[in-house]
Chain A
Amino acid sequence: MTSPEADPANTTPDTANPDTARWTFAGFRRGALDVLPFVPGITGFAMAYGTVAARKGMTLFEALLMSATVFAGVVQMVVLDSWPETLTVASVAGILALTALVNARYLMIGATLRPLLGGEPARKVYPTLFFLVEPPWLMSLRYYANGGRDPAHMLGGGVAMYVTWVTMAVPGFIAGASVGNPKQFGIDLVMPAFFVAMLVPLWRGPRRSYGLIVGGVAALATDILFGGFWYLIVGTLAGCFAGVFNDD
């Protein structure tokens, strides 16, 4: 991760005293501000979801309720796309299996949050985890690596993404039109670019980065061979096990 001096903007007063500054509004606001670069991408995605939901015959209330409860973009899109003709026990089980598969990466993402949230009371951590999505996860890992210790940072980022995701489905639903081509402005690559930027400080030389190398290669091979969503699970698990052989 980046060293503290690499990003002086991250050294806020509330992190200067890590033993006392917990669950502050300042930390919450900082988390919300940190995910701002992701807002255009999430907005485009939410509008696309709204459009698909309208086309599938959902009411606006149903579409927004799904966003407000499930709060998982890829899951919502995939499930809408494969919604069965009639709801039977088997077809509902299929929907739930797909939901679990698409979101299984969060099992691993959640595990990485132990060092950040482990010392906090469960009654605060578990509600916070409802808002766990990738942008606040990435930004919180960075915040923590830079010395930030306020868990409200994750909550702030998560709530900001939640509000964006739920509200921005409305224009998509009503207009039924997309915002043009997100590729034109590179918006579709904001998230991958953040992932790549995070990889650079995580690279600690080949003998200490087996997790990264094996994870990437295994994910790519799985994607090419099988397609679907398996690559995230296979790649992450393979990288995680390969990490055992990292030099200390």
Chain B
Amino acid sequence: MIEKDAFGFFVVLAAMTAVVYVTRIAGYWLIGRLVIGPRLRRMLDALPGSIIAATVVPTLVQGGPRAIVALTATALVMIVVRRDFFAVLAGVAVAAGAFAFGL
């Protein structure tokens, strides 16, 4: 139950808002302050792929057979067709089909 102390609630909300906003701007701000040499350049180039892989691989495994089949279909369609819209559509369709089959 949320405590019925409205003042406390608003204080926590304001603090949470500040923390979340700092996470959104701090990375952008910090990179702008750094002198970017070749080493850091490579790290930054690798960053989007690292974030995306780190996000999706545990989903793939935790999601079980249904997620594995669906996301494999997405990857295959993407490799062949190179259009993310169709790749995502294929993945979602396979996920819905797998659900119907009880996966």
Contact = CB atoms under 8 A, between A and B. Distances in A.
Given A186-B93, A193-B70, A235-B53, A114 B58 contact: no
Interface stretch (A21-29, A43-51, A65-73, A170-178): A65-73
Interface stretch (A12-20, A78-86, A160-168): A78-86
B14 to A, nearest CB: 8
A218 B51 CA distance: 11
A37 B86 CA distance: 11
Main secondary structure of the interface of B (DSSP, over half): helix
Contact of B13 (A65, A199, A213): A65
Q: Identify whether the interface residues of A are mostly helix, strand, loop, or mixed.
A: helix
Contacts of B49: 199, 202-203, 209, 211-212, 215, 239, 243
A50 to B, nearest CB: 14
A231 B63 CA distance: 15
A179 interface: no
Interface in A168-212: 183-190, 192-203, 209-212
Q: What 5 A-B pairs come out closest when comparing CB atoms?
A: A243-B46, A239-B50, A235-B54, A211-B46, A186-B95
18 contacts: A66-B16, A69-B14, A87-B12, A96-B15, A100-B19, A106-B24, A107-B30, A110-B24, A114-B28, A141-B48, A186-B96, A188-B95, A193-B91, A195-B56, A202-B52, A216-B54, A220-B58, A239-B49
Interface of B: 1-5, 8-9, 11-17, 19-21, 23-32, 39, 42-63, 66-67, 70-71, 74-75, 78-79, 82-85, 87-88, 91-96, 99-100
